[in-house]
Amino acid sequence: MIFRSAYLGFAFIAMSIAAQAQSAERTRQANLESLAATERAFAAETVKVGFRDGFIKYFADDGIGFGPHPQRTREELMKLPPSTGPRRIMFNWAPMFGDVSDADDLGYTTGPVLYTDLVDTAKPPRHAIYFSVWQKQADGTWKVVVDLGVDTPNAVAPIDTKFTAANAVGPRKPNPMKGTPDDDYRKLDWNLWGSIAKTSPAKAYGSHLDKLFRVHRKGVIPATTFAELAPLLNSATKFEIIDGKIASSGDLAYTYGKYSSDFGQNVTEAGYYVHVWRRDANSKWRLVVDVQNPLPKTDK
């Protein structure tokens, strides 16, 4: 009788844990869909009213874009007069992948971009992939805090592509660094840079990347496998961090700054980057997104 009571007790606990996990996953999926829906609304608004007004509406007051250097996008666009004439270019995009923090206060989305010439209709469209970091505001709305896209040679996905959520990490081991000086977003990039300097780009990225990663580089389709990534890791890269943030739940973080790459034989490149980091099941920070966009050759 005692044995059966103990068994029933353990079974009840197991069922309770499973129910809590299912509830947490439903909440996470709802949060992700909320973010994706906001991104779709952002794109639809921009198609309707144009780049200036669409971006003013959906960027945070301190949201950063690159033109080509970091700038407060909303502030810069507010300086421009509203467009009164017909638009030449229609700018449209859609979220195809993204994630949110456990606290639902930080997230990101990425997906295909389509530039259509409305004047010269015979001109083929241009393609790109956008990447946006979103932060939940005090009023409960999502706003863009960092945005950096890169041109691609062709479409990475149809513009009406379906949104796919990043896989859930599941239960994590206790975070030994939370609330300590080691829990510093700047160290995420410093550690990656140091690993590149001590070993090699391939080994450094191999030891820091999440299993589910995305690497965006100008002029190529995003790399999501190590076979696709290998040709892109052909330079010693340094990171000069500008800013970043860790979600209040301590599981998701972003950083952005300037990078410089040395390809050897006096060939160098400089530009800006955005990184997104996520804690894995062992509470170790892993790089899930790496976007780099070089500056024009005449603008260093």
Integer Cα distance of 136 and 107 in angstroms: 8
Closest Cα partner for 190 from 252, 259, 240? 240
Q: Can you give the pLDDT at residue 12?
A: 52
Q: Can you give the pLDDT at residue 177?
A: 56
- Is the confidence at residue 117, as pLDDT, over 80? yes
Distance from the first to the final alpha carbon of the chain: 78
- CB atoms near residue 52 (< 10 Å): 16
Residue predicted with more confidence, 100 or 8: 100
Integer Cα distance of 236 and 113 in angstroms: 30
Percent of the chain with pLDDT over 70: 88
Residue predicted with more confidence, 163 or 85: 163
Q: Please report which confidence band the pLDDT of residue 174 belongs to, taking 50, 70 and 90 as the band edges.
A: confident
Identify residue 134 by its one-letter amino acid code: W
Do residues 285 and 279 touch, judged by C-beta distance below 8 A?
yes
Pairing mode, strands 209-217 and 267-279: unpaired
Q: Can you give the pLDDT at residue 18?
A: 44
In terms of pTM, does the model score above 0.85? yes
Residue predicted with more confidence, 19 or 263: 263
Mean pLDDT across 153-178? 85
Q: Give pLDDT tens digits for 94-115.
A: 999 999 999 999 999 999 999 9
Q: Give pLDDT tens digits for 228-242.
A: 999 999 888 999 999
Closest Cα partner for 207 from 222, 194, 192, 197? 192
Read off the DSSP letter of residue 168: P
Using a 10 angstrom Cβ sphere, with 0-12 exposed, 13-18 middle and 19 or more buried, the burial of residue 202 is middle
Q: Can you give the pLDDT at residue 82?
A: 87
Mean pLDDT across 37-45? 97
- Is the confidence at residue 14, as pLDDT, over 50? no
Do residues 281 and 170 touch, judged by C-beta distance below 8 A?
yes
Q: Can you give the pLDDT at residue 22?
A: 55
Q: Give pLDDT tens digits for 279-297.
A: 999 999 999 999 999 999 7
Integer Cα distance of 24 and 57 in angstroms: 31
- Is the confidence at residue 8, as pLDDT, over 80? no
Q: Give pLDDT tens digits for 248-272.
A: 999 999 999 999 998 888 889 999 9
Q: Can you give the pLDDT at residue 122?
A: 81
Do residues 91 and 113 touch, judged by C-beta distance below 8 A?
yes
Q: Please report which confidence band the pLDDT of residue 123 belongs to, taking 50, 70 and 90 as the band edges.
A: confident
Three-state DSSP class for residue 278: strand
Do residues 95 and 40 touch, judged by C-beta distance below 8 A?
yes
Q: Please report which confidence band the pLDDT of residue 182 belongs to, taking 50, 70 and 90 as the band edges.
A: low
Tell me the average pLDDT of the chain: 89
Domains of the chain (ranges, CATH numbers): 21-165 (3.10.450.50), 185-294 (3.10.450.50)
Token pair in block for residue 160 = 């009406």
Q: Using omega within 30 degrees of 0 as the cis cutoff, is the peptide bond preceding 70 cis?
A: no
Mean pLDDT across 7-28? 56
Q: Can you give the pLDDT at residue 29?
A: 87
Q: Give pLDDT tens digits for 186-206.
A: 999 999 999 999 999 999 999
